[in-house]
Chain A
Amino acid sequence: MLRKIITPVLAILIFLGLWELLVWANGWPNYKMASPSDLPPAFWKYKELFLLMGWQTLWRTVVGLLLAVIVGTLIGMIIGFSKLARDALYPLLVGFNAIPKATLVPVISLIFIGQHDFNTILMAFMISFFPIAVSVGIGLSTLEPEYRDILRALGASRFTIFRKIALPKTLPEFFGALKVSATLAFIGTNLVEIVSPHGRGLGALFKSGETNGDYPLMFAVLIALAVLGIVLYYAVIFLERTFAGWADREGT
């Protein structure tokens, strides 16, 4: 247990040490590349901003991700259960997913002028629902017929079969996709915060660091983003262990 914590912490310390060494050995000035020792002062100086904007980034990402889970699961159910819907929707979904989302930022900020939170959440959602929809869809459509038949032969309703068999059986795939989606949603949030600055979120803080030539601040934001990303990722892992821990056959 202790080893599980010490190992990654050590790895991080070594990484920071190498980074510091790299900057020091090359004699890079701050505006080229800040070193780890510049970061604590930057965090301290803007600590309120970091807390406030980190929170803004986090809650909008999580809300976007929740939307993606709901809508993605619904779409996944539709394409998983109906071959017709699958044939009809797949090209649309793939096409939509292929659009680089940065191009959509000006589009949605024009449609929903001034609704910053909404725009940001929308982007986090749009960028992250696809893996969930596809994984749930594939999980449901590849369910072996026998699994369905053991309950169907007893006259169980489609919903009962979904709840008792199809849903739990797709949970491992779902969580696999959720890990990808969590990271994507995070990228979506930051994309909006940076490209269309409205003074909210860590993306905006990054932008202001850039404008003011405060390079340690920019790097500090990057680190803060990494930390948030890790928190989000491990939250998903925690949920996965809780709800789909049975799929982990380690040691059996």
Chain B
Amino acid sequence: MRGCCPGAPTFKGFLLIENLIEIKGARHAYQTASGPLPVLDGLDVAVPAGTFAAVVGPSGCGKSTLTKLVAGLMKPDEGEVWLHGERVTGPRKTVGMAFQNPVLLEWRSILDNVILPLEIVAPKMPTKDRTARAMELLEMVGLAGFENKRPSELSGGMRQRASLCRSIVHKPEVLILDEPFGALDAFTREDLWQTMRDLRAAEPFTAVLITHDLRESVFLGDQVIVLSGRPARTQYVMDVDLPADRTLDVLFTPPAAEMLHTLRDQIKIAQGRADEGGV
């Protein structure tokens, strides 16, 4: 795909295709014992190449379901999912995922955990190169010296850092983060936001970040998408007009405060709809 059109504008190595991720009018219902449970009802998401889309919405509204659509782990009942100008029909090797639970494999060292995706995506890559690539990332997130430890020997924040390394080790085009910082204390979380920002500057990827933290969505997002209560539809989209190399201080400036305020109001509206639904 890359380099197909000489002369086309690029951004951080990506062709400037209008949107790298695009979900159009997705509807979905889970089949449960007590009948169908609608979770998505008119979901529209568009993420330009190289940008970060933060998704917020009431608990249980369908955010993780959205990530499964993007990852190709699930097909919506209705609507379309596009990645890189191609219709998504199943999993693809160019996706990376990280969750709230770091899900590291206890029988592998941190280094081997980070290497795992390469074993699937690039089975012929020499071990030396794999190790070098993993070490490069571990150093970037401040885990140099811990590569031979077991996951249980690391703190929660360190495990999450390792999990982030694993999610981008194979240089995915699309990074899907489902509340990766949700279980961390406030200070560790802010640390990891900065780590994420630095990773982003070093490696190009397009990301969808699910979060419950509005400050996180403003700090890391280029746009914030607010979903309504279940069944989720796109309720509000806000462009975050802040410098790319933002520091935590930016969160205390008037423009950020205003954004946070708007988002809070939107979340209230989203929750109001959830209440009517008897959730």
**Using Cβ atoms and an 8 Å threshold, which residues of chain A touch B90?**
155
Known contacts A168-B107, A246-B150, A249-B152: A150-B71 contact under CB 8 Å = no
User: Do the beta carbons of B107 and A146 come within 8 Å of each other?
Assistant: no
Known contacts A150-B97, A150-B103: A252-B150 contact under CB 8 Å = yes
User: Do the beta carbons of B72 and A150 come within 8 Å of each other?
Assistant: no
User: Do the beta carbons of B120 and A252 come within 8 Å of each other?
Assistant: no
Known contacts A144-B103, A146-B103, A246-B106: A153-B152 contact under CB 8 Å = no
B183 to chain A, nearest CB (A): 13
Let me know if B272 is at the binding interface, CB within 8 A: no
Measured as residues with beta carbon below 8 angstroms from the partner, the interface class of chain B is 20 to 34
User: Do the beta carbons of B120 and A154 come within 8 Å of each other?
Assistant: yes
Let me know if B91 is at the binding interface, CB within 8 A: yes
User: Do the beta carbons of B101 and A146 come within 8 Å of each other?
Assistant: yes
Nearest residue, chain A, Cβ from B172: A154
**Using Cβ atoms and an 8 Å threshold, which residues of chain A touch B91?**
152-155
Contact of B95 among A153, A160, A164, A169 (CB under 8 A): A153
User: Do the beta carbons of A154 and B93 come within 8 Å of each other?
Assistant: yes
| Most central of B71, B107, B116, B166 by chain A CB within 10 Å | B107
Binary contact track A138-168/B, C-beta < 8 Å → 1, others 0? 0000001011011111111000100011001
Nearest residue, chain A, Cβ from B109: A246
Known contacts A149-B97, A153-B97: A168-B72 contact under CB 8 Å = no
Let me know if A85 is at the binding interface, CB within 8 A: no
**Using Cβ atoms and an 8 Å threshold, which residues of chain A touch B72?**
153
User: Do the beta carbons of A247 and B120 come within 8 Å of each other?
Assistant: no
How many angstroms between the C-alpha atoms of A168 and B116 in the bound complex? 14
Known contacts A154-B120, A155-B92: A247-B106 contact under CB 8 Å = yes
A124 to chain B, nearest CB (A): 30
Let me know if B245 is at the binding interface, CB within 8 A: no
Chain A: interface residue total (CB-CB under 8 A): 22
A233 to chain B, nearest CB (A): 23
User: Do the beta carbons of A151 and B107 come within 8 Å of each other?
Assistant: no
Contact of A164 among B96, B97, B116 (CB under 8 A): B116
**Using Cβ atoms and an 8 Å threshold, which residues of chain B touch A156?**
120
How many angstroms between the C-alpha atoms of A160 and B119 in the bound complex? 10
How many angstroms between the C-alpha atoms of A165 and B96 in the bound complex? 17
**Using Cβ atoms and an 8 Å threshold, which residues of chain A touch B107?**
168-169, 171, 244, 246-247
How many angstroms between the C-alpha atoms of A84 and B144 in the bound complex? 46
A71 to chain B, nearest CB (A): 25
| Most central of A150, A151, A168 by chain B CB within 10 Å | A150
Known contacts A144-B101, A147-B103, A168-B107: A153-B150 contact under CB 8 Å = no
Binary contact track B106-120/A, C-beta < 8 Å → 1, others 0? 110000000011011
| Most central of A144, A147, A246, A252 by chain B CB within 10 Å | A246
Let me know if B82 is at the binding interface, CB within 8 A: no
Nearest residue, chain A, Cβ from B163: A150
A166 to chain B, nearest CB (A): 11
| Most central of B117, B153, B166 by chain A CB within 10 Å | B117
**Using Cβ atoms and an 8 Å threshold, which residues of chain A touch B152?**
249, 252
Nearest residue, chain B, Cβ from A155: B91
User: Do the beta carbons of B101 and A150 come within 8 Å of each other?
Assistant: no
- List 11 A–B pairs whose Cβ atoms lie within 8 Å, in order of A's numbering: A144-B101, A149-B73, A150-B97, A150-B103, A150-B117, A153-B73, A153-B95, A154-B91, A154-B95, A154-B120, A154-B121
Told that A151-B117, A154-B117 touch, could you supply 7 new A-B pairs with CB distance under 8 A?
A146-B101, A149-B73, A154-B95, A154-B170, A164-B116, A169-B105, A246-B150
Residues of B within 8 A of A (CB): 71-73, 90-93, 95-97, 99, 101, 103, 105-107, 116-117, 119-121, 150, 152-153, 166, 170, 176
